[in-house]
A and B are shown apart, each in its own frame.
Chain A
Amino acid sequence: QKEVEQNSGPLSVPEGAIASLNCTYSDRGSQSFFWYRQYSGKSPELIMFIYSNGDKEDGRFTAQLNKASQYVSLLIRDSQPSDSATYLCAVNGYSGAGSYQLTFGKGTKLSVIP
């Protein structure tokens, strides 16, 4: 069974600091990796995706992927109170039953303290 593990938190950081969110996955055949942000009572919203080893930057967000270690991370620089949410790591891999499925972690709850 494919698994995606995240530290559930809560992770508290002061405003302006760097928040570091981590994720490991079990399926070595996984091909693409996504970070979604979910505010309480809302649906997941895509933050970033990454397909290749290394870093990918988009504004204040940097995704890092290390396929050899089966590890994905998300760094949020200059954290803002509006970044307070649950961050879901999702891994896309072939299900073996006809589709590419997203397997999600349980999410890490981030609180940015003003």
Chain B
Amino acid sequence: GAGVSQTPSNKVTEKGKYVELRCDPISGHTALYWYRQSLGQGPEFLIYFQGTGAADDSGLPNDRFFAVRPEGSVSTLKIQRTERGDSAVYLCASSLWGQSTDTQYFGPGTRLTVL
């Protein structure tokens, strides 16, 4: 079946602009995660959705970052007033229930470059 998809695959923007990154999880997966991966680092947790609600947003670096999942499927990560330090690959993952033993399946990522 179809895996996790993310759009766009690449996004180049200017400092101060607003961007939206989209994630479409595996059908039937209730848990959705956003991670950020900088060069030479492992992915870092940003936010977790269980259904439509953001159950854990403790990884969001500041209030410029926000994410929604209005219908419990597709999610959008929104970044306001982008800064050069936001440049990274943003990864979305989904799992069946969000339990500790669930496997998280990753999408291809969106590479964000802030000039």
Contacts and interface: CB of A to CB of B under 8 A. Distances in A.
Interface of A: 4, 31-32, 34, 36, 42-46, 49, 51, 88, 90, 92-95, 97-107
Interface string B84-107: 000000010000001111111111
Contact of B101 (A31, A43, A90): A31
B99 A103 contact: no
B61 to A, nearest CB: 15
**Interface size band for B:** 20 to 34
Q: Which of A34, A43, A44, A104 has the most CB of B within 10 A?
A: A43
20 contacts: A31-B101, A36-B106, A42-B108, A43-B106, A43-B109, A44-B91, A92-B100, A95-B56, A97-B56, A99-B55, A100-B98, A101-B45, A101-B56, A102-B35, A102-B45, A104-B42, A104-B43, A105-B42, A106-B40, A106-B41
A32 B100 contact: yes
Contacts, number: 66
A11 B33 CA distance: 30
Nearest to B104: A102
B105 A100 contact: no
Nearest to A93: B100
A2 B33 CA distance: 18
